[in-house]
Structure 1
């Protein structure tokens, strides 16, 4: 496998939450202001900040300040990279870690 398992642990931890999955679903439509995310999720601003910190730390989401608000969007480069990792992880391959050399 050309990927390091450990580099994807933060991503998988970030995805292991229903609210963060909803945020990603909302961001799949394009960039959104934190105020729009708050309206759609029915959570408090500090709770949103916590979830966005998790998603930005694993580079899945990009953040930018716009006046007093933060705007968020998916990091398409990382989304593609994560999809490729999962595809390789879950597909049959000749050099699979399950094949132990005998002898």
Structure 2
């Protein structure tokens, strides 16, 4: 997908069209509400790894929070700033959680 976004960016930036990818972050969408104990154990292991990467990680964010973060990123992004073709987190950088 990143290659496609980059190619579209090259093709259309002269027309002022911005193409970029934004990760929504780790979002609570109810996916694990009915999980088995084994799945929950796997999830807790994954969250533990995320906390090693980002010690301040407090768990998944709400969909509302994710949308607010994404909107803030795209409202600041522009072709002129060189944001086209990029892949960033919901925080607007390469910090994924």
Q: More helix per residue: 1 or 2?
A: 1
Does the alignment reach a TM-score above 0.5? no
TM-score using structure 1 length: 0.29
Q: More strand per residue: 1 or 2?
A: 1
